Chain A
């Protein structure tokens, strides 16, 4: 079952060793992270040494080897956001979710990441949740936002 998905990916990207990053990006899109057995298959199919695949997967921040949550919360820790109080509300959020930066909550709902600058300093502190930007964040606003997403996914699971 796993290899089928990978074969589909390899059909679109090709099996050249130079397509490694592209393949990994597709794998990440499909599985939301890079599973170990898939990477072993990638190494075999593309004829790239396993350590090379592992190295590339570790090098880029866009790749992750751990399963990620459904919602990805990125908190900007750039200079402007830092000055406007990003570390304070980050602490609060982490306390609320009970995790550290880069970790995922136990229920697999949220992954919190920090980033050095999103390039939207005038809007700081900036938070990105599932690709959507939220400006002028405060601890209160963020708590409401997280609760909203929690409720949303709760409702969805109830419907199912």
Chain B
């Protein structure tokens, strides 16, 4: 038998088995916290920082990623406070600046309330979310690819940049990558990047229906409530 713990997320009581993360608990109750690097059944790394929440303890609140935060009895979580929404918007903005060539990231950013990107576009092909690395190591037990290099040179690579013989060629690393869906206006060239935001008109319709992100196949259950209380 699983032991259950009760915690409060955004004021509602949530009962969930011990050992689950706050993000999973919230998602199972339909409380939507935006996320990118999280995948169900795969260990969390807290790389994208989109799922940040406030944890209230002894009258003080701390901001942490909810995917790496384990549930505790009597925990008080605030997922959509003004402070969080502001920080999250900023994080989403930086993700778009890093990799504007992804519909998933553009979509998440739109839903986090980003209107324009104030950072210089870097237009990389990777945001180091580690989805490919973790699915390869955990689901397939293959470890064919991983993070290589340090600091700003950190990137995902194959050993010696060659496909190793123990790679199972499952193509899951490509399937889970947020960079595989190009934004609606097409791939963006260097120097011509922009924040898309074309589907903003559809947001009001999509907002209240679960699982209807404009095209967010990656963040399943990702239905980020936009800054409604603002």
Contacts and interface: CB of A to CB of B under 8 A. Distances in A.
Interface of A: 36, 39, 49-55, 58-59, 65
Given A54-B159, A59-B150, 11 more contacts: A50-B164, A51-B146, A51-B148, A51-B158, A53-B159, A54-B146, A54-B148, A54-B160, A55-B147, A59-B149, A65-B160
A50 B158 CA distance: 9
Interface in B160-190: 160, 164
Given A49-B143, A50-B159, A55 B164 contact: no
A51 B145 contact: yes
Given A49-B143, A51-B143, A58 B148 contact: yes
B144 interface: yes
Contacts of A36: 160
A36 B160 CA distance: 8
Nearest to A59: B150
A58 B149 CA distance: 6
Contacts of A65: 160
A4 B84 CA distance: 59
A31 B86 CA distance: 54
A53 B157 CA distance: 13
A65 B148 CA distance: 13
B159 A51 contact: yes
Contacts of B164: 50
A65 B143 CA distance: 20
B170 to A, nearest CB: 16
Contacts of B144: 51
5 contacts: A50-B164, A51-B144, A51-B148, A54-B157, A59-B150
A54 B148 CA distance: 8
A121 to B, nearest CB: 24
A57 to B, nearest CB: 9
Contacts of A55: 146-148
Nearest to A48: B143
Nearest to A50: B159
A102 B147 CA distance: 22
Contacts of B145: 51
